[in-house]
Amino acid sequence: MPSLKLALVQLAVGAQKAANLARARSKVLEAAKAGANIVVLPECFNSPYGTQYFGQYAEEIDSAKPSPSIQALSDMARDSKVYLVGGSIPELEKSTGDLFNTCTVWSPEGQMVAKHRKLHLFDIDFPGKIVFKESEVLKPGNTLTDFSTPWGKFGVAICYDMRFPEVAMIAARRGCVGMIYPGAFNQTTGPLHWELLLRARAVDNQIFTAACSPALDSEATYHAWGHSTIVDPYARVVGTTADAEDIVYGTLDLDLVDEVRKSVPVYSQRRFDMYPDVSKIT
């Protein structure tokens, strides 16, 4: 296959869901027109990010009876003819009333091909800076997620999942060539760890990594870091931006995955006689 062009839509998200969906559609179509094959939206692309908003903006995810955001994502993917990693939306499971932070992935035909519920909930406390506890309103998911494309398999996880190396490790050992993270780090955690974690997951597993953030809205209650970023298997940043609305593009030469694994052959050097292979644990 030819090289893959990836686009990260660092979307300006506001309080009006319909406006967010329309803006996302415009940016996805723009990215497709620029030649992107996979387009990624940010975490909570249809709503402000915050525990006080999740219930208000939550939707059921049922492709047979699509809610407004699910219909919009299907239409975006089909009309732009791209693989669309649909950021995340607050998901309502009607049978239980539980809420999840959920990413859906769509084929170029507009079919849902994967669904990932955030595994690790964002509960942090930086004294004097930021306290945030997703677990006050959200439930965690229980499934590792990947999806197939003509260029290879990609793992999907959401934001705080990035801090847990096992997720990317398992994806890579199961054949994924990259990890994609819709995310929304903040003005405290972003400068500290956003790029560091992306480069760490890339160098650990010799894969591509990418994270897509909302743009910074200084008037919002939560201030996203932005800086949507793509990293190659050598842990080099190949595309990034600042905190304003933008689209980050990166051309992924997938031959680099084999190249780096031959140059630094850790896959054949691991000592599973000394420690477990987490990808084999059920």
| Gap between the Cα atoms of 60 and 49, Å rounded | 18
Phi-psi region of 61 (alpha: psi -120 to 50; beta: other; left: phi over 0): beta
Tokens of 153: 């398999």
- The per-residue pLDDT for 93 is 96
The residues assigned a catalytic role are 43, 118, 159
| Gap between the Cα atoms of 184 and 84, Å rounded | 18
Closest CA to 93 of 59, 45, 57, 53: 59
- The per-residue pLDDT for 64 is 78
Low-confidence ranges of the chain (pLDDT < 50): none
- The per-residue pLDDT for 1 is 66
